[in-house]
Amino acid sequence: MRQLDAELRRFFARRVVRGTFLVAALIVAIAVGVGTANGHKGTSLEYDPSTGAVIPSGESVSDAGRPFVESGNGSGAFVLSQSDTRTNIGKDLRKVLEGTGIALLFAGFALGASFVGAEFNVGSLTTQLLFEPRRWRVHGAKAAAVAIGATTLALAVMLLVALAMYIGSLLGGVVDGITATFVVHRVAEAIRIAAAVGAGAVLAYAITLVAKRSSAGMIAMFLQYPLLFLLDPAKKPFGVLSHYMPLRGLLAIAADPAGATGVNERTIHTMAGGAVLVVVWLAVIVSSSGFAFSRAEVR
Highest averaged pLDDT of the listed ranges 158-162, 179-183, 209-213: 158-162
At residue 151, the pLDDT reads 97
The residue-averaged pLDDT of 236-248 equals 82
- pLDDT tens digit sequence for 153-176: 999 999 999 999 999 888 877 787
- pLDDT more than 90, % of the chain: 40
* Strand stretches in the chain, DSSP E: 43-48, 53-56, 68-70, 78-82
Contact call for residues 242 and 235 (beta carbons, < 8 A) = no
Highest averaged pLDDT of the listed ranges 3-17, 189-203, 248-262: 189-203
At residue 59, the pLDDT reads 46
Distance CA 4, CA 26 (A): 30
Spell out the domain ranges in the chain: 2-36+87-295, 41-82
139 has pLDDT over 60: yes
At residue 62, the pLDDT reads 42
At residue 113, the pLDDT reads 93
At residue 159, the pLDDT reads 96
Q: Is residue 273 very low, low, confident or very high in pLDDT (cuts 50, 70, 90)?
A: confident
> What type of residue is 97?
L
Distance CA 254, CA 95 (A): 11
Q: What is the mean pLDDT of the chain?
A: 82
Distance CA 289, CA 138 (A): 12
Distance CA 165, CA 32 (A): 6
Q: Residue 82 forms beta bridges with which residues? A: 43
- pLDDT tens digit sequence for 23-79: 999 999 999 888 888 877 766 666 555 555 555 555 443 443 344 444 544 445 555
Judge if the upstream peptide bond of residue 237 is cis by omega within 30 degrees of 0: yes
The residue-averaged pLDDT of 238-257 equals 84
Q: Residue 140 forms beta bridges with which residues? A: none
> Do you know the residue count of the chain?
299
Half-sphere exposure of 51 (CA within 13 A, CB side): 9
Give the dihedral sign, CA 202/207/212/213. Answer: negative
